[in-house]
Amino acid sequence: SSKIRNLEVRSADDVAVLDDCIDFSLAKTISKTEEKLERGGLPDCLDDDIIPRVGNEIGAEAQIRLLKAKLRVTQEELDSVVCECRKKADENQNLKSRLKDTEEESTRLQRTISLQHSQTEKYKTLSQEANKKSEGLQQEVIALEKVLQ
């Protein structure tokens, strides 16, 4: 996703071209195709579905216009995918940030719960000791009342 963010889009011959794309250069592909056309022949790939069968009946310049139009459409689709990928990467980053915050909050709450449990245990112990002391004092009071009578 970091490479996608760093891609720069520029315009060349009315076609947007991505720079720094690994193993793919639209500009090189276009220039190679134009060189083949200038050398006097159409590319050998007329049988594939880039140019329909009607392509054999139209002129070279019309085929070039057709290819450039298809190239523009493909470039727009690529730009759309790159844009969506950027959005997904941003959303992913936001979710990672939220997850980190949630994990930190969970850790903090776990510490608070642990502290409260230890305090609860401490107060239970103190309460039990106070109850024992109270029972002892009540028995002492009863014994002293018997002595007084």
What value does the mean pLDDT take over residues 80-93?
A: 95
36-79 tens-digit pLDDT: 777 766 545 544 555 555 555 678 888 888 899 999 999 999 99
Q: Number of folded domains in the chain? A: 1
Query: Contact 36/77 with Cβ under 8 angstroms?
Result: no
Of the candidate ranges 25-29, 35-39, 82-86, 116-120, the one whose mean pLDDT is the lowest? 25-29
Distance between CA atoms of 117 and 102, rounded to whole angstroms? 22
In a domain, 24, yes or no: no
Please report, in angstroms and rounded to a whole number, the separation of the first and last CA atoms in the chain.
92
Number of Cβ within 10 Å of residue 37's Cβ equals 16
- Distance, in Å, from the CA atom of 19 to the CA atom of 8, rounded to the nearest integer, reads 6
What's the domain range around 102? 59-148
Decide if 53 is inside a domain: no
Residue 67 is assigned to a structural domain of this protein? yes
pLDDT score recorded for residue 33: 73
Least confident of 2-16, 60-74, 108-122: 2-16
